[in-house]
Amino acid sequence: MVDILTREQRSKLMARIRGKDTKPELTVRKLAHGLGYRFRLHRRTLPGCPDIVFPRLRKAVQVHGCFWHRHDCGLACIPKSRVEFWKQKFVDNVRRDRANLRALRKAGWDLLVVWECETEAPQKLVSRLNRFLSKPSR
Ligand SMILES: [Zn+2]
């Protein structure tokens, strides 16, 4: 199979597949830290293994790559080859996201989804993060 991506695109994509310690995630961590919150990372015991977890608050933040999780922002293009494969994969991803969100809520957790593209505007994001973390838990 011919690789249609440049080396840089490929390595970005692989980072997203691994899905950990990606640049958007690091941005969100930095912002939460700057707000004075302490958190843990990738709690496997919680549905969906949220990226950033605030145990005492029973809140978690999930950072979603726009491509993988189908954000309606223009970054979620469909690759030109193996279209059916990708479509199915995306459907599965979105379905899994929804199921995880439901399971988390049922367990009494609040989840904030942060999209990759939102991390490009940290000032806006930090106030959103602040609002989410400071509002009383359910
Ligand atoms: Zn997006």
Span from the CA of 72 to the centroid of ligand 1 (angstroms): 6
The overall average pLDDT reported for the chain is: 89
Q: 70 alpha carbon to ligand 1 midpoint, in Å?
A: 8
What distance in angstroms lies between residue 107's CA and the mean position of ligand 1's atoms? 27
Helix H, strand E, coil C: the string for 58-98 is CEEEEEECHHHHCCCCCCCCCCCCCHHHHHHHHHHHHHHHH
> What is the reported pLDDT for 8?
73
Q: Locate 95 and state its tokens.
A: 């379905």
| pLDDT tens string 73-118 | 988 888 889 999 999 999 999 999 999 999 999 999 999 999 999 9
Q: What pLDDT does residue 13 have?
A: 65
In the reported structure, the alpha carbon of residue 16 is separated from the centroid of ligand 1 by a whole-number distance in angstroms of: 14
Q: Above 80 in pLDDT, residue 19?
A: no
Q: List phi, psi (to 5°) of 130.
A: -60, -45
Contact by Cβ (8 Å): 25, 51: yes
- Note the pLDDT of residue 84: 93
How many Å apart are CA 85 and CA 90, to the nearest integer? 9
Position 4 confidence tier, pLDDT thresholds 50, 70, 90? confident
**In whole angstroms, what is the distance from residue 107 CA to residue 126 CA?**
26
Asked if the model's pLDDT at residue 14 lies above 70, the reply is no
